[in-house]
């Protein structure tokens, strides 16, 4: 029963993330090359969704709603391998459903908040997404490991995701989440789908690196 609840929570959280945050990027016409109001609104939407979900489903599943977060939690001993794959399935299903609803509402010929390569460079895109995800997941692992941050963890994580988007939208549209990128990509097809592997690999590597650094520096220091 607990696993079913966690699955449902992760599905709902990722569904909301794609529908509301990618939806905001779509309806306000966010273009990474233009740091305007739409750019800021999109960054805020991603951060605010995380805050809302953290304080609603956080006590059920931890509100990962992101495979990169889940791999970080797995590698730091916070979940089992079985739970990890359960979360991944729920996250990808939720993102797909969110993108499907978004497309039905605004049209599948819109951007749907899909990600794209920076400067048509796979290497540059891999590097920026890895760095962005590393920072995001490191913050999550750090604040959720300390009881004194418990009440404010959702806010801290939400603000961090907003920051990551403010910087990263210009480059790739900011993924830092393989599930969030998957939903829009499968409905957009074309370049969004062919380059999707970048937004699968880089965030997972960034999340794994964050787990390594957390265990080596932050967690070990707390234990002293």
Average pLDDT over every residue of 13-19: 98
Average pLDDT over every residue of 106-124: 97
* Number of domains into which the chain is organized: 1
Give me 150's structure tokens: 């418990």
Average pLDDT over every residue of 73-93: 97
Confidence (pLDDT) at 221: 56
133 in Cβ contact with 206 (< 8 Å) = yes
**Banded pLDDT at 223 (limits 50, 70, 90):** very low
Query: Which structural domain, as residue segments, surrounds residue 8?
Result: 2-222
Indicate yes or no: pTM above 0.85. yes
Question: Element (H or E) spanning 99, and its range?
Answer: helix 81-106
- Render pLDDT for 173-217 as a digit per residue (tens, 0 to 9): 999 999 999 999 999 999 999 999 999 999 999 999 999 999 998
- Render pLDDT for 22-46 as a digit per residue (tens, 0 to 9): 999 999 999 887 888 999 999 999 9
For residue 14, the domain's CATH number is 1.20.1080.10
Class of residue 98 by CB neighbours under 10 A (exposed 0-12, middle 13-18, buried 19+): buried
């Amino acid at each position: 029963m607990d696993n079913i609840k966690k699955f449902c929570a992760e599905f709902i959280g990722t569904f909301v993330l794609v529908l509301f945050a990618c939806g905001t990027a779509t309806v306000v016409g966010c273009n990474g090359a233009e740091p305007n109001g739409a750019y800021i609104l999109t960054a805020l939407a991603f951060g605010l969704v995380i805050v809302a979900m953290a304080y609603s489903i956080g006590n059920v599943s931890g509100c990962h709603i992101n495979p990169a977060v889940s791999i970080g939690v797995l590698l730091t001993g916070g979940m089992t391998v079985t739970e990890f794959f359960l979360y991944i399935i729920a996250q990808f299903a939720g993102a797909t459903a969110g993108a499907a609803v978004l497309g039905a509402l605004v049209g599948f010929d819109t951007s749907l908040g899909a990600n794209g390569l920076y400067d048509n460079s796979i290497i540059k895109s891999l590097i920026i997404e890895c760095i962005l995800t590393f920072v995001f997941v490191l913050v999550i692992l750090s604040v959720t490991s300390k009881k004194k941050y418990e009440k404010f963890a959702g806010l801290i994580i939400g603000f961090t995701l907003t920051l990551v988007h403010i910087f990263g939208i210009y480059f790739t549209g900011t993924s830092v989440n393989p599930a969030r990128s998957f939903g829009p990509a499968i409905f957009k097809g074309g370049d969004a789908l062919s380059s999707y592997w970048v937004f699968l690999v880089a965030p997972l590597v960034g999340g794994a690196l964050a787990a390594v650094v957390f265990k080596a520096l932050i967690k070990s220091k707390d234990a002293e």
